[in-house]
Amino acid sequence: EPEVTQTPSHQVTQMGQEVILRCVPISNHLYFYWYRQILGQKVEFLVSFYNNEISEKSEIFDDQFSVERPDGSNFTLKIRSTKLEDSAMYFCASSLRGVSTDTQYFGPGTRLTVL
C-alpha cells in the first residue's frame, strides 16, 4: 500500500540554525500539506500546497517557514532560523485532490528538537 514517507525521523538543531524536513508524498497525489504537533497538544495545520504554489497557510506559517517541491517526488519544509518553540513533530500529508472531502494520508513524522 502506498504511503507518505518522511526523513529524517529525528532532527536535533541549535537555535537559529536552518532545518529542512523532507517528505515523499504518495505518488499520484496532487495536494500536499504540513502539520505540526507540539508534545501533548493537538495536530495543527501549517500549510497546503498545490501546483507548485501555497494554496493556504496558517498564522503559524510565518516568514521563517517555506515549502518547496524541488523535484517530482520530494516536498520540503524549511525553517530558516529555528526557535525553541519550533520543537515539535512535523507531519507531512498528501491527498489525491484538494477538496474538503478528500482523505489526507499522513507520514510518520519528523521529531524536531531545537536546543
- Piece of 11-19, 41-49, 67-75 that binds another protein (CB under 8 A): 41-49
Q: Does 82 bind another protein (CB under 8 A)?
A: no
Q: Which of residues 45-74 bind another protein (CB under 8 A)?
A: 45, 48, 55-56, 58
Count of residues of this chain found to bind another protein when the rule CB under 8 A is applied:
33
Cβ-based neighbours of 67, under 8 Å, separated by 6 or more: 32, 34, 47, 49, 54, 75, 76, 77, 78
Q: Does 38 bind another protein (CB under 8 A)?
A: yes
Please provide the DSSP assignment of 33-70 as one string: EEEEE-TTS-EEEEEEEETTEEEEE-TT--TTEEEE--
Total length of the chain: 115
Query: Residues interacting with another protein, by CB under 8 A?
Result: 4, 6, 31, 33, 35, 38-45, 48, 55-56, 58, 84-85, 91, 95, 98-109
